[in-house]
C-alpha cells in the first residue's frame, strides 16, 4: 500500500489519472447519461480552446521569472474579433486565418517585449495588455457579436468525423503534438526548462534569454489565436467577450497539471489531463444543472487544494527518499 501511495505521489500523471477515474465514477453516479462514449467524445469539444490556452500558459510558467500571462483570454477575444471582421469585410476564411494567426503573434510579441526585453513583471505587464486587448475587442465590435460567417465554416467545429469532433481531431491533436515536439524533442524546449530551473545557468550556457522568452509569449499568442478561430466556428459568431475568464481557467489547469509557479517544473502531459478533468467537471456540473458561478468556485477550490497537494506530495516524496538512503 505504501509503495503504491509513494508511486502515485511521485508521479503527477498517475495522481491525475487517479483523480480522473474518481471523477468519472462520481459523474456517472450523478447522471447515467454521462458515461457513454458518444457523450464523452462530445464533451471534449468544450475543452478545445482551453487546451491550447493552457498549453501556452503552462509554457510561460515553465519559462520562469514569475512568468504568467493574464492576457491570454483577451488575446483570444481580440484575435477572434479580427477574424470576424476580416470575414465580414469580404476576406476568405484562409486569409482571415492567416491574419488572425499574425494578430496572435503580434499580441504575444507585445507581451514578450515587455516581459523579456523591458523586464517588466509579467503579472503587471499582462494585466495591462489584458485591459488593452479586451477593450480593443469591445471597441472593434461596438459590443455587438459579429455573425454571418459562411455556412462552410461550420465544418471546423460543429461537425464530427468518426464520432470525434472535427476541431479535436484536426486542430487540437495535431497542434498539441507539434507543441510537444517543440518542447520535448527540440532544443527550444530544453532551453525553456533550463531558463525556468536556473536562470543563471541558462545565461552562462549562452541561451539568449530575451529571444527564447519572447518566443514563448509569441507561441502563447498564436495558440490563443488558433483557439479563437475554433471558438468562432463553434459559436458561428465572434464575440468580444469570448475569452473572458479563460485566463483563470488556463492558470488553474496548468497548476492542477503540476506546473510549478516558480518555473522549470512540470510536464505538459499533466496539463492535458488537467484540461480533461476540468472539462469533464464543467460539463458534469452543467448536466447536474449547477450555475456557472459555482463552477468557477469549484475551480477555485480545486486550485488551492491542488497546490497544497503539490507541496504535501513533494514533501512526502522527499521524506520517503531520505528514509531510503
Task: Write out the residues near another protein by the rule CB under 8 A.
Answer: 66, 68, 114, 118-121, 123-125, 127-136, 138-139, 142-143, 203, 210, 248, 251-252, 255, 261, 291, 293-294, 296-297, 299-301, 303-304, 307-308, 311
Least Å distance, CB 34 to another protein, is 23
Least Å distance, CB 177 to another protein, is 29
- DSSP at 299: H
Q: Which is nearer to another protein, 32 or 142 (CB)?
A: 142
Helices (runs of H) and strands (runs of E) counted in the chain? 16, 4
State the burial class of residue 132 (Cβ atoms within 10 Å of its Cβ: 0-12, 13-18, 19+).
Answer: middle
Q: Which set of grid coordinates corresponds to residue 70? A: 493574464
Least Å distance, CB 243 to another protein, is 14
Long-range (24+ apart) CB contacts under 8 A made by 298-304 are: 299/248, 299/249, 299/252, 300/252, 302/252, 302/256, 302/278, 303/251, 303/252, 303/255, 303/256
Least Å distance, CB 317 to another protein, is 17
Q: How far is CA 306 from CA 4, 10, 184, 289, 311, in A?
A: 20, 14, 25, 25, 9
- DSSP at 35: S
CB 18 within 8 A of CB 276: no
Q: Which is nearer to another protein, 303 or 320 (CB)?
A: 303
Angle ∠(116,122,128) on CA atoms, nearest 5: 115
Residue 196: other Cβ atoms inside 10 A:
25
Least Å distance, CB 207 to another protein, is 12
Least Å distance, CB 3 to another protein, is 27
Q: Which is nearer to another protein, 17 or 248 (CB)?
A: 248
Strand ranges in 27-101 using DSSP code E only, listed in sequence order: none
Least Å distance, CB 279 to another protein, is 17
Least Å distance, CB 245 to another protein, is 9
Is the Cα torsion angle 157, 227, 150, 234 positive or negative in sign? Answer: positive
Q: How far is CA 322 from CA 15, 29, 260, 315, in A?
A: 21, 41, 22, 11
Q: Which is nearer to another protein, 175 or 251 (CB)?
A: 251
Amino acid at each position: 500500500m505504501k509503495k503504491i501511495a509513494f508511486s502515485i505521489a511521485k508521479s503527477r500523471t498517475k495522481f491525475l489519472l487517479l483523480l480522473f477515474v474518481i471523477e468519472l465514477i462520481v459523474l456517472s453516479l450523478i447522471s447515467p447519461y454521462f458515461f457513454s462514449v458518444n457523450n464523452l467524445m462530445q464533451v471534449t469539444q468544450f475543452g478545445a480552446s482551453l487546451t491550447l490556452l493552457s498549453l501556452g500558459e503552462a509554457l510561460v510558467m515553465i519559462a520562469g521569472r514569475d512568468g504568467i500571462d493574464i492576457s491570454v483570454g483577451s488575446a483570444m477575444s481580440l484575435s477572434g474579433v479580427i477574424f470576424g471582421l476580416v470575414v465580414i469585410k469580404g476576406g476568405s476564411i484562409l486569409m482571415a486565418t492567416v491574419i488572425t494567426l499574425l494578430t496572435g503573434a503580434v499580441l504575444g510579441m507585445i507581451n514578450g517585449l515587455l516581459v523579456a526585453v523591458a523586464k517588466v513583471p509579467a503579472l503587471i505587464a499582462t494585466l495591462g495588455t489584458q485591459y488593452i486587448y479586451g477593450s480593443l475587442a469591445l471597441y472593434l465590435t461596438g459590443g455587438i457579436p459579429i455573425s454571418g460567417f459562411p455556412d462552410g465554416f461550420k465544418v471546423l467545429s460543429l461537425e464530427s468525423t468518426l464520432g470525434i469532433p472535427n476541431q479535436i481531431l484536426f486542430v487540437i491533436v495535431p497542434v498539441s503534438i507539434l507543441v510537444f515536439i517543440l518542447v520535448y524533442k527540440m532544443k527550444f524546449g530544453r532551453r525553456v526548462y533550463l531558463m525556468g530551473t536556473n536562470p543563471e545557468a541558462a545565461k552562462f550556457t549562452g541561451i539568449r534569454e530575451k529571444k527564447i522568452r519572447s518566443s514563448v509569449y509569441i507561441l502563447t499568442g498564436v495558440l490563443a489565436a488558433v483557439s479563437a478561430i475554433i471558438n468562432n466556428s463553434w459559436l458561428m459568431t465572434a464575440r468580444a467577450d469570448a475569452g473572458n475568464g479563460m485566463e483563470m481557467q488556463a492558470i488553474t489547469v496548468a497548476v492542477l497539471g503540476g506546473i510549478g509557479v516558480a518555473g522549470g517544473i512540470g510536464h505538459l502531459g499533466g496539463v492535458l489531463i488537467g484540461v480533461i478533468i476540468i472539462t469533464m467537471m464543467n460539463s458534469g456540473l452543467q448536466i447536474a444543472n449547477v450555475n456557472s458561478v459555482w463552477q468557477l468556485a469549484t475551480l477555485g477550490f480545486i486550485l488551492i487544494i491542488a497546490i497544497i497537494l503539490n507541496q504535501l506530495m513533494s514533501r512526502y516524496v522527499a521524506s520517503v527518499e531520505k528514509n531510503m538512503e
